[in-house]
Amino acid sequence: MRILKRLATGTLATAVSITVTSAALAQSVDILSAITAGRVAVISDGDYIARTYADSALPPEEAGHADMLTVLSIADGRVTKSAISVSNSVTAAPEILELTPDGRNAFVTERLGQRPDGARTARDLPAGNRVFAIDLSDAANPRLADTAEIGINPESLAVSPDGRTIAIVSNTSQASLLQIVEFSDGRFGDVAKFDLAALGIEGSTKGARGGVTATNVQWHPSGRYLAVNINTQDRIAFFEFRNAEAGPSVHPWGDTVAVGRDPFVGRFTPDGRHYLTSNWGRNIAATSLDGRIPKASSTMTVIRLAGPETANARHEQLGTIETGVSAEGMAVSPDGRMVATINMQGTSFPEDSPRHQREAAVSLLTFDPRTSTLTKVGDFAFEGVLPEGGTFDLAGDHLLTTVFEGHRGAGPDAGAGIEVFRVVKGNMPALERLGRVALPHGVHHVDIAP
């Protein structure tokens, strides 16, 4: 959640394996046994608490929060839980974590580095500049496989469909960068950096990068194209990726497409014919939380893509629909017919704010790929603070959303963790809440694999 950590001495790689059998977590076993997935990866930021966005104060060190990647493995009705310390930051878009399609590796990037000794405010946190590869081949003992240095302040990453190439966007003081990193045999290759200005994404205002900020990158299902959200200019840029013997290159694929205000994240549909953007709608120029966070609903825009072999490719913006208030993350079902946005609503405001709300919500929409039409089904409320990331399971029968922290005095089923919904299909789609998997403080994204 970027509203308004780089390791201090190296990356900690201590793994802990736990079999989830205690009475306190018995419900978690039941919930996860129902989903279609073999592995669930969850990232948590230990440096921020929700109130940090309002007053910049970090939690006291004795709170014991930690940056953490938690891995939940599901087999034969049994859930095992392991964890490894990995630097990350909630101040980026949720998409700073992704698994390879086979679930054997996880990639994480850090917009801000970990908290140095004596740090008391958000301004004391260093800029992040790394991407981490975590080997999950032995799920009970995840280990740090490799680290690569990239441009500072990375916002998001995406893994190619074959699992061999990582795309990352960073916003340095000089440039917005699209970076390509090959991954093979557990090791990163060289980092290829492309200045978006040199690719035609130029700014026209004063300030860093001419006002250009890239917040999201996504791979087309073919692995041939990339989409980059330019949220400060309310547009999406598309690029063709080529991987020659001389190294990777990217080239503009058609013109950029204007969308709704503040397109923070986006997704290609599984058939590769459309790109959907979740437009948060913030006032980027505002300096206070109250001024920055909108009161109106966020929106979603549908873009129909040009054919892959079309000369002079022209992508078409087809329309925009309202979703929910302060929608940050989004998810698209495996068949492309269900879309969800994860809406913070007023949970980002402290309890003493008149805009504070205890309930967040998920907006559920249907998508008809034949007519390129989005239809909102409804909003489904749940209690929790700063829900951000989300994913459908592999069958599209369940939706998992993150909860950053619980409200003060909340019980074990209302703290930080993963909120699990069953997807009701048919003529009247809906979400049915099943419960919450309790996890360490600061959960902000989740991904799954077979």
Residue 88's CB is within 10 A of a number of other CB atoms, namely: 31
7 lies in some domain: no
290 lies in some domain: yes
1 lies in some domain: no
Which of 354, 355, 334 lies closest to 425, judged by CA? 334
CATH for 169:
2.130.10.10
pTM: 0.93
99 is in which domain, residue-wise? 15-449
Number of domains in the chain: 1
Residue 139, φ and ψ in degrees, nearest 5: -60, -30
294 lies in some domain: yes
DSSP of 132-178: EEEE-SSTTS-EEEEEEE-SSSEEEEEE-TTSSEEEEEEE-SS-EEE
4 lies in some domain: no
CA distance 344 to 331: 15
Would you write out the chain's pLDDT as a tens digit for each of its 450 residues?
655 443 333 333 444 433 333 333 435 556 888 899 999 999 999 999 999 999 999 999 999 999 999 999 999 888 999 999 999 999 999 999 999 999 999 999 999 999 999 999 999 999 999 999 999 999 899 999 999 999 999 999 999 999 999 999 999 999 999 999 999 999 999 999 999 999 999 998 887 899 999 999 999 999 999 999 999 999 999 999 999 888 999 999 999 999 999 999 999 999 999 999 999 999 999 999 999 999 999 999 999 999 987 778 999 999 999 999 999 999 999 999 999 999 999 999 999 999 999 999 999 999 999 999 999 999 999 999 999 999 999 999 999 999 999 998 777 678 999 999 999 999 999 999 999 999 999 999 999 999
251 in the Ramachandran plot: left (φ > 0), alpha (ψ -120 to 50) or beta? beta
8 lies in some domain: no
2 lies in some domain: no
136 lies in some domain: yes
CA distance 32 to 22: 15
What does the chain come to in residues?
A: 450
